[in-house]
Amino acid sequence: MFEPETDTFQGPTIKVVGVGGGGGNAVARMFEMGIEGVEFVAINTDAQVLTSLNVPVKVQIGEKLTKGLGAGGNPQIGEQAALEDEAKIREVIEGSDMVFITAGMGGGTGTGAAPIVAKIAKDMGILTVGVVTKPFDFEGKKRRIYAEEGIKKLREYIDTLMVIPNQKLITVSPKKLSIVESFKMADMVLYHAVKGIVEVITRPGLINLDFADVKTVIQSGGYALIGLGEASGEERALTAARKAIDNPLLENAQIEGASRILVNITGGPSLTLDEAYAAAGLIRERTKRDDTNFFFGVTLDDSMDENLQVTVIATGFDEKGRSRLFSEMKEEMSSPFDEKTQETADDFPFDIKSLLDSLKDE
């Protein structure tokens, strides 16, 4: 008699690739914090920095070109280094179903090599997501221009891109937050972005979302809005949903106009159907479209206790939505370091205090 082999199924192979110093630091932090079902890779031209990272797989690129001393802040060197060792990059991502490429844009290796990694992944038919940061204003005009040029190149090859301007960390965080803690906050945002998508893919749900659903939303999705909100207490579902879609740390954070949306709600045994419906309904209403392709999932997790978590991925913006996104990008590029940076977490719905508390717990 034929019996199905229920224990042999393996989920999609997902890899998170950190390129350059910022990307490597982010991947190292993700690895230390732990995300199940993910393989971590760090790619860099700087041999010393690469050696210091606590990451399972490390790939040095451009050894002949840079002698292991880094790209010197020059994206062209970073690009040439990646091209020099294209075979190494191809080998390390081979067999992947999905690759996250994480980099701090504005420097040499991350800015120059990340688009090459993305191109290789695209040529191999791998679903590819970029999660990148932009420099603080105080890092100067040159790094900002490098970052914008790098992001433009990256967009040519990836399916979906999420951009986190480091400057937004200043606008939403307490005034006395140190620069070290600020960079840790950026790492935490990257961590939550990857964690949210990975858990949707790898955790079986009561109302299940699978890799095919995620692929439909992400593939050729362009700029993405991704959010992860968590809340407890009265109206926790609506509060978590608002946090997920109103996160001010993300660039282009307007869900209106999205033609593809994936929503996953995770809660403990006390999660009700009404709560799930309310959270999904709020998000659907905020898109202001009747033809949005909406994917909805529910996951029960006893460890959530009285907390409820909402993960949102939105892509495929209409012309109105895209024009708003690009106007926001233009404004972000031209805005000076001014009095707006004096705003605090109290001005925003995003729960920055919880994020800071999580940093202290690490």
Tell me whether residue 221 is annotated as binding. no
Burial class (CB in 10 A: 0-12, 13-18, 19+), 272: exposed
Burial class (CB in 10 A: 0-12, 13-18, 19+), 244: buried
Q: Are 116 and 89 in contact (CB under 8 A)?
A: yes
Tell me whether residue 286 is annotated as binding. no
3-state secondary structure (DSSP) of residue 177 = coil
Q: Which two tokens stand for residue 77?
A: 């060197």
Tell me whether residue 140 is annotated as binding. no
Tell me whether residue 108 is annotated as binding. yes
Tell me whether residue 3 is annotated as binding. no
Query: 250: alpha, beta or left, given left = phi > 0 and alpha = psi -120 to 50?
Result: beta
Burial class (CB in 10 A: 0-12, 13-18, 19+), 182: middle
Give the E-state strand segments of the chain in sequence order: 14-19, 39-44, 57-60, 98-104, 127-134, 160-165, 222-223, 225-231, 258-267, 293-300, 308-317
3-state secondary structure (DSSP) of residue 327 = helix
Tell me whether residue 281 is annotated as binding. no
Strand order in the sheet with 57-60: 57-60, 39-44, 14-19, 98-104, 127-134, 160-165, 222-223
Tell me whether residue 95 is annotated as binding. no
Tell me whether residue 109 is annotated as binding. yes
Tell me whether residue 54 is annotated as binding. no
Contacts of 128 (CB under 8 A, 6+ apart): 98, 99, 100, 101, 118, 121, 122, 157, 158, 159, 160
- Separation CA 182–CA 231 (nearest Å): 23
Q: Which residues carry a binding-site annotation? A: 21-25, 108-110, 139, 143, 187
Residues making up the annotated binding site for GTP are 21-25, 108-110, 139, 143, 187
